[in-house]
Structure 1
Amino acid sequence: MTGAETTLRARNPIDVSLYLVLDPELCGGEAGMVATAQAAAAAGATVVQLRAPQWKKGQWLRCAQALQTVLHPLGVPLIINDHADVALAVDAAGVHVGQSDLPVAAVRALLGPHKIVGLSTNNLDNVAALLTPEVAACIDYIGVGPVYPTTTKLDASPVIAPAEMQAMFAACPMPAVAIGGIKTGRVAPLLAAGANGVAVISAICGQPDVTQATHTLLAEIKAARAERSDN
């Protein structure tokens, strides 16, 4: 993919309203991850990401195939964390990478123009780097976080201060999803600050009733958006 082709690429649409990141330990392994993803997607989750940093590649592939089987009929995109080869092998919707992973331009070159590419950002400088046309054209959405303290990502960056978080959302040229320590009761301030959606892990993974947990989060998102539109 040439620089000109990348610059002209239309951004792939993605609804990041309620973005579920699967956790193998909280979900109880592969079968639990698939069951959790299916229940959450059926209840209204808009994106599911497979993230399992301790797994071997064969496990990634097997679980991704199972996730595609249950998510595709529901129209919910599957995003693979880091591993573009796994995403290509199962025809997943896209890939999400961090600041120290494969550069987004390389991911875009591997996936082509029609797959979704997401990037984690941790500070305003990260967002400023997206403002060049060549980089911005490679990315369809960003993750902003951690916005609260989190225990599900041991190597997480420091929590972003509220003022910087709001500035990041304001500066971002593409949809932005807040992530990190988000539970019920913590959604409204994030959407008020400018987030397009929230990414959750423990607020759904490992919950005794995944369907109800998903409905509760969606109700908070709907209420927060209504509040924002009224102001």
Structure 2
Amino acid sequence: MDNNEILDKKILVIDDERELLVLLKEVFKKDGFNNIYEADNGIDGILSAKENNPDIIILDVNMPDIDGYKACDRIRKFSLCPIIFLTAKSEDEEKIMGLEAGGDDYVTKPFNIKEVVLRVKSQLKRGMINTEPKRNIYSFGNIYINEDTGEVIKNGVNLSLTAKEYSLILFLVKNKNKVFSKTSLCENIWGYEYDGYDNTIMVHIRHLREKLEDNPSEPRHIKTLKGIGYKLVD
């Protein structure tokens, strides 16, 4: 993960203590952060959050115009960015109130200023990981299955599978190395009771082997366990 990517994230600090605002801004700047916004009351903080769309907010609980819990509640109506509460109270009830209001973390005053920076970095890193697009790609041997596009590729060639063949191989590859009885496969793929579907399952397994295995008569991946069922191995 690129550290510069983290340092380019936007931080909004909302606190009615002017000295603390200046201190936090200086520390974040010194640490390499480039985009820092500030507000010394709850209303201005909410407006700044709307206008600047920060990636993370440091929010004081005790402010004269509107407390941090109410500010958080309003911000949550348009933003899901992490919010770290600054609170002068260490009681569990206060911490729970902050989390219930939509906060992600809290720091109790007085605090080590470096602790705030570390917590901000931790939340930003976590957010970047959670927002990375998931690639729903599965593989075994020389076969790749892209669930997002529905493609099944072998040695660079897009194979043509029927809908049920695709559902069956996708189910097996998602549960690699697990054994499934014919009854279980029938219920998961066809949604029916097993009775009468013995031949159907066998035919689909045979067709999959013909399309996916290098040597269908001696399959390396789609295995039969006699008297038990089938499993997919890598």
TM-score by length of 2: 0.31
State which structure, 1 or 2, has the greater radius of gyration over its C-alpha atoms.
2
More strand by percentage:
2
TM-score by length of 1: 0.32
